[in-house]
Copies of this chain bind each other. A is one copy, B any other.
């Protein structure tokens, strides 16, 4: 993963923290497809992911709250959310946030 090149705040972040079940069938392909679809959505600013098979954090960044709401309603995304609850996730938490400030560091 590379860090997302987000613009100057304010913008929006969706923090998706999850713990997976042992059921893996179809997960990787769907995750890749959802990332591809998200990137094509209006207002998509970037995505960061870290984790392993058990626990992971995915943060997606959006220009506005309307844009992230629209992404949540995309039909293929809704199907994936449903399959997630039925099979892949033991637990998850979604937090919708407004990014107010940011700063970074890069070694020279």
Partner of A104 from B84, B91, B96, B107 at Cβ < 8 Å: B91
Shortest CB distance A54–B (Å): 8
A57 near B59 with CB under 8 A, answer yes
Copies in the complex: 2
CB neighbours of A100 from chain B (8 A) = 65, 96-98
CA distance A76 to B19 in the complex (A): 32
How many A residues are at the interface, by size bracket?
A: 35 or more
The main secondary structure of chain A at its interface with chain B is strand
A96 near B96 with CB under 8 A, answer no
CB neighbours of A49 from chain B (8 A) = 57
CA distance A104 to B17 in the complex (A): 9
CB neighbours of A101 from chain B (8 A) = 95-96
User: Mask for A65-108, Cβ within 8 A of B = 1, else 0?
Assistant: 10000000000000000001100011111111111111111110
